[in-house]
């Protein structure tokens, strides 16, 4: 793989990491986290169908998007880290 592509992947991973830290800081100081824990408990207890029934489609889509983006960010960081070690 060319060095430029490897550099871009590492830069992308670093940007994702910094974005995650920034979002964590914003969520901690500016957003009430209690409502997220309520929805996570509903999701654990009743599954996606129970979450849609109790909270509605926008909340279900928001939580699904959050978990999807979080997983993709971790994959990008892992791949960027592996590329940096090579």
CA distance 19 to 13: 10
Please enumerate in sequence order all residues whose Cβ is within 8 A of that of 50, keeping only pairs 6 or more positions apart, or say none.
42, 43
> So what's the pLDDT on residue 77?
76
Tokens 């992947």 found at:
9
5/79 Cα distance (integer angstroms) = 12
> What DSSP string runs through 7-26?
HHHHHHHHHHHHHHHHHHHH
- What is residue 45's predicted lDDT score, i.e. its pLDDT? 93
Give 10-residue mean pLDDT values along the chain (86 residues). 73 76 69 72 88 86 83 79 68
Q: Which domain holds residue 11?
A: 3-85
Structural domains of the chain, count: 1
Report pTM. 0.49
């Amino acid at each position: 793989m060319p060095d430029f592509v490897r550099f871009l992947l590492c830069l992308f991973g670093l940007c994702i990491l910094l974005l995650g830290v920034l979002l964590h800081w914003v969520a901690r100081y500016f957003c009430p986290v209690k409502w997220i824990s309520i929805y996570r408990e509903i999701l654990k207890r009743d599954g996606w169908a129970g979450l849609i029934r109790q909270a509605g489609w926008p909340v279900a889509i928001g939580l699904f998007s959050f978990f999807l983006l979080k997983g993709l960010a971790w994959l990008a960081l892992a791949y960027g880290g592996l590329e940096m070690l090579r």
